[in-house]
C-alpha cells in the first residue's frame, strides 16, 4: 500500500482541551459546555468525515459522467450514551446534489459510501445514515 498523506495532530486536555497541528497551521479549543459556538470532538469528526465523503461523492459522480457543481455534504455526528453508561457515535450524511436525479443520487451515494476511507473505517462500528436533498 502506498501512503498518500500523513496528518498529525496533538490533543491536550481531553474533551475540554485543545487540538492543534504541530506546525501551528490549525488549532481549536474544545468545550463540552453546550454553548452554540463551542466545538467538540464530534464537530471535528463530522467535518473530517463530511469532507472525505464529499470527495468520494464527487469522484463517484464524475465516474458516472454526472455534474458535480454545487455538491455539499452536511455531516452530523451524534454522541450517544447507551443503557450501560457507554458511549457510541452515529453519523448522518446528507448530500445536496443539484441537477442530479433521485436514482443517480442514490447510486452515487452508495458508491461513495463504499469507497470513502471514513466509511470503510467505521463500517460495522457505527451507524451511518445516508440521505440527499
Q: How far is residue 83 from each of residues 15, 32, 64, 80, measured CA to CA in Å?
A: 22, 21, 44, 10
- Taken in order 98, 99, 101, 104, the sign of the CA dihedral is negative
Full-model pTM: 0.93
Across the chain, which has 133 residues, the per-10-residue mean pLDDT values are: 95 97 96 92 97 98 97 97 94 97 97 97 95 94
pLDDT at 8: 96
pLDDT at 34: 85
Element (H, E) at 53: helix 41-63
- For the record, the C-alpha cell of 24 comes out as 501551528
pLDDT at 82: 92
Domains of the chain: 1-39 (2.20.25), 41-132 (3.30.300.20)
Amino acid at each position: 500500500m502506498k501512503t498518500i498523506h500523513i496528518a498529525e495532530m496533538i490533543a491536550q486536555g481531553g474533551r475540554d482541551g485543545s487540538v492543534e497541528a504541530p506546525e501551528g497551521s490549525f488549532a481549536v479549543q474544545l468545550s463540552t459546555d453546550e454553548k452554540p459556538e463551542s466545538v467538540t470532538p464530534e464537530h471535528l469528526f463530522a467535518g473530517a468525515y463530511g469532507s472525505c465523503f464529499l470527495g468520494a461523492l464527487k469522484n463517484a459522480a464524475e465516474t458516472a459522467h454526472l455534474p458535480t457543481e454545487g455538491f455539499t455534504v452536511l455531516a452530523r455526528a451524534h454522541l450517544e450514551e447507551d443503557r450501560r453508561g457507554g458511549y457510541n457515535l452515529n453519523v448522518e450524511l446528507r448530500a445536496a446534489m443539484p441537477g442530479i436525479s433521485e436514482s443517480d443520487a442514490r447510486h452515487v451515494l452508495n458508491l461513495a459510501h463504499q469507497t470513502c476511507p471514513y466509511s470503510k473505517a467505521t463500517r460495522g462500528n457505527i451507524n451511518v445514515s445516508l440521505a440527499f436533498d
